[in-house]
Amino acid sequence: MKYLIVFAHPNPASFSSSLIKALCDHLVNAGNEVELRDLYGIGFNPVLSADDFSSLADNKVPEDIATEQEYVKRAEHIIFVFPVWWGGMPAIMKGYIDRVLSEGFAYEYVDEGSNGNGLLSHLTCSMICATGLSSEDFQTAQDAMKVIAEGVICGFTGIKPGKQLFYGSVPTVSDEVRKSYIQEVIKEFSE
Ligand SMILES: Cc1cc2nc3c(=O)[nH]c(=O)nc-3n(C[C@H](O)[C@H](O)[C@H](O)COP(=O)(O)O)c2cc1C
């Protein structure tokens, strides 16, 4: 399988950073092709700008967006990994979605008055999220995030939704529990 992992966390000492390292090692050792885009690490610019709109209107894809789209084109499965901030993805990840999944690449408008057509139906994707709240207390926000991920982002682009994994109380559980979360993720991607 050709995996593209899109990762957002600025802190190398975070749970999410430990998770990403273990997941990448596991997928590579299992014989998969893995490309990692660490959005903070590469200094990804998440702001969809007026210049972006005018370039895209002239069918010119800004260079940094084109680079990320090449990674998407090569992938079969995208895994988004991030901590939940204010009930959703960190701004840098939202900006990746805004800019990289652009009109003409991820979707197109064809018929008058109809919804867009998704252009990425060859892809599947998963989402792995760490939360501060317990799983129980996070349930309502989790349902809302699933609607955005499956209904909106996948629905609009044609990407088929895969696993959506949430791990609760990350800052307050013991190291053993955090390690068990990482083992659970690895098991999920061993099937
Ligand atoms: C800016 C910010 C906003 C946060 N908002 C939420 C939230 O809405 N819901 C929640 O459960 N946890 C929230 N948290 C807690 C983080 O999700 C938690 O610290 C993180 O998942 C721990 O994993 P990490 O070590 O990978 O950062 C927030 C943390 C920060 C820094």
pLDDT per residue rounded down to tens, the chain (191 residues): 999 999 999 999 999 999 999 999 999 999 999 999 999 999 999 999 999 999 999 999 999 999 999 999 999 999 999 999 999 999 999 999 999 999 999 999 988 888 889 999 999 999 999 999 999 999 999 999 999 999 999 999 999 999 999 999 999 999 999 999 999 999 999 97
User: What is the domain count for the chain?
Assistant: 1
Which ligand 1 atom minimizes the distance to the CA of 18? 26
Q: Which atom of ligand 1 is nearest to the CA of 16?
A: 26
Distance from the CA of 111 to the center of ligand 1, in angstroms? 41
Question: What is the per-residue burial (b if ≥16 Cβ within 10 Å, else e) of 26-55?
Answer: bbeeeeeebbbbbbeeeebbbebeeebeeb
Q: Please report, for the domain that includes residue 58, its CATH number.
A: 3.40.50.360
pLDDT tens digits, residue range 37-84? 999 999 999 999 999 999 999 999 999 999 999 999 999 999 999 999
Closest CA to 80 of 144, 148, 132, 171: 148
Range of the domain at 174: 2-188
